[in-house]
Amino acid sequence: MPPRRRRRPLPPLPVLAPGQLLDWTDRAHWSDRAAPCRYCERLTHLRDEQGQPAHKACAEEDGARRGVQAARAYRSGRTQA
């Protein structure tokens, strides 16, 4: 019987730095009308990719959190269809 192959250890999860993840320099991310951020409810003129009011830092923090959750789910085999 051939020797059992060992799995290589997975690389560590990336460290995501809020403030450096999204590029919102396009004017589509700006509105003249301030509205409550979808995450923290403080007023903002910024808009996310879906046009919803959001601070860039809040959106980056949410994206980082979702990325870590997805990576953990993938590693544990608990991904959703």
Applying CB under 5 A, among 21, 22, 35, 39 the residue interacting with Zn ion is 39
Nearer to Zn ion, 52 or 69 (CB): 52
Token readout for 19 is: 């403030």
Nearer to Zn ion, 62 or 67 (CB): 62
Q: Examine residue 29 and tell whether it contacts Zn ion (CB under 5 A).
A: no
- Which amino acid is it at 18? P
Q: Examine residue 58 and tell whether it contacts Zn ion (CB under 5 A).
A: yes
Q: Examine residue 59 and tell whether it contacts Zn ion (CB under 5 A).
A: no
Q: Are 48 and 59 in contact (CB under 8 A)?
A: yes
Q: What is the DSSP letter of 20?
A: S
* Least CB distance to Zn ion at residue 35 (A): 11
- How far is the C-alpha of 71 from the C-alpha of 15, rounded, in Å? 12
Which residues partner with 35 through β-bridges?
Answer: 44
